[in-house]
Amino acid sequence: QVNDKVVSKLAKTKSIATRSTGYDHIDLEACRQKGILVSNIPTYGVETVAEHTLSLMLAISRRIFESLEKTRKGDFSNDDITGFQLKDKTLGIIGCGKIGKRVAELAKIFGMKVLAYDVFKDEGAAKKIGYQYVDFETLLKEADFITLHANLTKENYHLLNKAAFQKMKEGVVIINTARGSLIDLQAFVEYLKLGKIKAAGIDVLEEESEEKEEIKLLYENKLNKEQLQKLLADHILTEFEDQNKNVIITPHNAFNSREALAEILETAAKNILGFVNDNPINIVK
């Protein structure tokens, strides 16, 4: 964390280049007061994340993991692993920025109908790619698949909550490669158990940092009631994955490709060179 205490000790620093899109780990106000420019990676891994999203959808629809498990056990029967095709299904994209648009393009190749919900509409892209903007409630009611590609803000925290799940189709499939806290995890697990949510492909959990450091945190007694509830829901979800093959969890890996990592390094280097050459770029305002 580059907080105000850290910034106060940076006597000669003029620029901070973070190798991430998010910058909530940096105290921007403290940097402004010291005249330190902060640059970030505005976008990266569009193709990588979009492909991971479609991979999760295909793994669920074609029951890939169940098939692998059977053949590894020497069982080549296929009567209990019948899947379904993506063609003619409706995909609802929440957050239709660069990644959302690329997911829409890939989904159209598979013959899907694509609906999108976003505060900022790009009608030109919608016409070119072939998707339709709808309101949030319409998307929830009509989508067979719902995939999240929105940034996390105070306004959309727990965007998919109990009220949202109640409005969805019976047997909806949820995909999240964006931010864990876009989903109310406790409500999510509840509707998975009820069967309202047929399947899920999850790359981000709400309390990832707590889960990774849970033993340390428990010993330090730093978890409040809400954090404990979220952590418990995380564990229930991962246990649910073990017992139910319709839940796929990947370890925050949607961004992780050689190409995306190279893009991060290249952009960070350009940010540093830009500052050195008195032409700063990708400055966080």
- Of the candidates 41, 44, 46, 56, the one whose C-alpha atom is nearest the C-alpha of residue 251 is 56
Provide the mean pLDDT of the chain.
Answer: 89
pLDDT over 60 (residue 253) = yes
- The pLDDT value recorded for residue 212 is 41
pLDDT by residue (tens digit) across 88-123? 999 999 999 999 999 999 999 999 999 999 999 999
pLDDT value of position 142: 99
State the SS3 of the chain.
CECHHHHHCCCCCCEEECCCCCCCCECHHHHHHCCCEEECCCCCCHHHHHHHHHHHHHHHHCCHHHHHHHHHCCCCCCCCCCCCCCCCCEEEEECCCHHHHHHHHHHHHCCCEEEEECCCCCHHHHHHHCCEECCHHHHHHHCCEEEECCCCCCCCCCCECHHHHHHCCCCEEEEECCCHHHECHHHHHHHHHHCCEEEEEECCCCCHHHHHCHHHHHHHCCCCHHHHHHHHHHHHHHHHHHHCCCEEECCCCCCCCHHHHHHHHHHHHHHHHHHHCCCCCCECC
Distance, in Å, from the CA atom of 67 to the CA atom of 60, rounded to the nearest integer, reads: 11
Measured CA to CA, the distance from residue 269 to residue 111 in angstroms comes to 40
pLDDT number for residue 258: 95
- Catalytic residue, chosen from 52, 63, 179, 207, is 179
What local confidence, expressed as pLDDT, does residue 23 receive? 85
CATH of domain 46-249: 3.40.50.720
Place of tokens 């509830």: 229
Measured at the CA of 247, the angle between CA 103 and CA 44, to 5 degrees, comes to: 30
Range of lowest pLDDT (10-24, 82-96, 111-125, 226-240): 226-240
Above 70 in pLDDT, residue 159? Answer: yes
Least reliable range by pLDDT among 2-6, 149-153, 244-248, 254-258 = 244-248
Per-residue pLDDT of 36-83, as tens digits, reads 999 999 988 999 999 999 999 999 999 999 999 899 999 999 988 999
pLDDT at residue 62, rounded to an integer: 97
pLDDT band at 22 (very low <50, low <70, confident <90, very high): confident
Structure confidence at residue 239 (pLDDT): 63
Name the superfamily (CATH) of residues 4-43+258-276: NAD(P)-binding Rossmann-like Domain (3.40.50.720)
User: Half-sphere exposure (CA, 13 Å, Cβ side) for 18?
Assistant: 21
285 C-beta neighbours (distance < 10 Å), count: 5
Residue 217 scores a pLDDT above 60: no
Q: What average pLDDT score do residues 279-283 get? A: 97
What does the pLDDT read at residue 227?
A: 56
133 token code pair: 């903007």
Query: Residue 224 above 60 pLDDT?
Result: no
> With bands split at pLDDT 50, 70 and 90, how would you rate the model's confidence at 205?
confident
CA distance linking residue 236 with residue 190, whole number of Å: 10
Give the span between the Cα atoms of 125 and 231, in whole angstroms.
Answer: 39
Whether 179 is a known active-site residue: answer yes
| CA–CA–CA angle 229, 200, 211 (5° rounding) | 35
Residue ranges per structural domain of the chain: 4-43+258-276, 46-249
Point out the catalytic residue in the list 142, 208, 214, 241.
Answer: 208
Do the domains at 4-43+258-276 and 46-249 have one common CATH topology? yes
Catalytic status, residue 252? yes
Is 208 catalytic? The answer is yes
Do 61 and 83 touch, CB atoms closer than 8 A?
Answer: yes
